[in-house]
Structure 1
């Protein structure tokens, strides 16, 4: 498979996320990257702040603080990945 150029990503990759792309005349799916970026950012801030507050306030709920910290880490990775995709020119 040849290496894709920025122009390929700017136009959008047809059927990139849709296993049923083009089935029965259906249009190709488009990814809502900006919405995903905002949701990942919100999840990162919310989970990080909540984790700090829970870990500082209660020893009984330390497990919840660590769960929130892991979710904040996942949101940070997702945020970075979406930024990468937007920087290479994917629409959305």
Structure 2
């Protein structure tokens, strides 16, 4: 048992869904902006790469939201912090 885990949930695995949600949202916004700037600057290959990464972030957001909804159904009323 480590000190970072509360005693009541020693054997429970922690989920980083909320943190993943924040990071995927940031990635979606950043890659979309970078793709627009790259296309505007005439660097098409970089714009395509950034656009693909934006699509990956959008798909990740969908997966995260589905998992968060499933967790909410399993644990109604439970509040999860950003890092849990």
What TM-score, normalized by structure 2, do the two folds share?
0.69
Aligned alpha-carbon RMSD (Å): 1.7
What are structure 2's unaligned runs of at least 5 residues? Answer: 1-9, 73-79
Asked if 1:35 is matched to 2:19, the reply is: yes
Match of 1:67 among 40, 44, 49: 49
Deviation at 1:43, TM superposition (A): 0.2
Deviation at 1:56, TM superposition (A): 1.4
What is the count of residue pairs matched by the alignment?
65
Which residue of structure 1 aligns with residue 41 of structure 2? 57
Deviation at 1:29, TM superposition (A): 3.0
SS of match in other structure, 1:31: coil
Question: Separation in 1 of the partners of 2:69 and 2:12?
Answer: 22
What are structure 1's unaligned runs of at least 5 residues? Answer: 1-25
Question: Separation in 1 of the partners of 2:67 and 2:25?
Answer: 15
Question: Separation in 1 of the partners of 2:32 and 2:39?
Answer: 11
Which residue of structure 2 aligns with residue 12 of structure 1? none
Question: Separation in 2 of the partners of 1:66 and 1:28?
Answer: 41
